[in-house]
Chain A
Amino acid sequence: SQQGEEDPQALSIQEGENATMNCSYKTSINNLQWYRQNSGRGLVHLILIRSNEREKHSGRLRVTLDTSKKSSSLLITASRAADTASYFCATDAWNSGNTPLVFGKGTRLSVIA
């Protein structure tokens, strides 16, 4: 069963707008990661935020983590048509050593030029 659940399932915005995707998870975690998947391709790692961090930036990406609410958000600023993809959050269980990541079902983002 999925640990993370993304919201919304699908999002359509105009180029230049900001896109926000949310992820909720169920159990305590070591870290939370976000991945992008272009149609027909493999997933690409975007950013990792540790359980003791609250916010992290990478270029146009901003990730927040609220462990008390067991939720995270991914913000893409000034979106471009090339950002059109599915975005997945993934988590690993707290103090579990090296257990594999559990992925959510993803948010499909469409950026219209």
Chain B
Amino acid sequence: NAGVTQTPKFRVLKTGQSMTLLCAQDMNHEYMYWYRQDPGMGLRLIHYSVGEGTTAKGEVPDGYNVSRLKKQNFLLGLESAAPSQTSVYFCASRDTGGNYGYTFGSGTRLTVV
């Protein structure tokens, strides 16, 4: 099925460890996004990309890095995980033009202990 695939679905990290979350979409979408969702906070934008090779900061970028080497993939990295990064991470994508809804992945639940 076409859509956005996130891996892994669950992960537990120790403080200071690093990891990469992978987002892959097969819809040839130009734009991709990483959000985090915390209880009572809704979704907050971490980083986004408007095309292959481009990235930009969102509302809460500190502690994260991203790369968009291939159009279909958007990677989110945590270099040194902190308990404050415990969250559910969602990737989303959309086509060009301003009037299309986002397609979301099913999320990655990350716990940092």
Contact = CB atoms under 8 A, between A and B. Distances in A.
Interface string B30-65: 010101000011111100101000000011000000
A66 B101 CA distance: 20
A100 B48 contact: yes
A98 to B, nearest CB: 6
Interface string A67-100: 0000000000000000000001010100001101
Nearest to A101: B102
Contacts of B92: 42-43
Interface residues of B, number: 27
B107 to A, nearest CB: 6
B58 A100 contact: yes
B59 A45 contact: no
B103 interface: yes
Contacts of B105: 42
A30 interface: yes
A35 to B, nearest CB: 8
A27 to B, nearest CB: 15
A87 B37 CA distance: 14
- Find the residue from A2, A48, A103 having the highest chain B CB count within 10 A: A103
Contacts of A92: 98
Nearest to A1: B59
10 contacts: A2-B42, A31-B98, A35-B102, A42-B4, A42-B92, A42-B107, A43-B92, A43-B104, A48-B99, A98-B50
Q: Which 3 A-B pairs have the closest CB atoms?
A: A45-B101, A42-B104, A105-B42
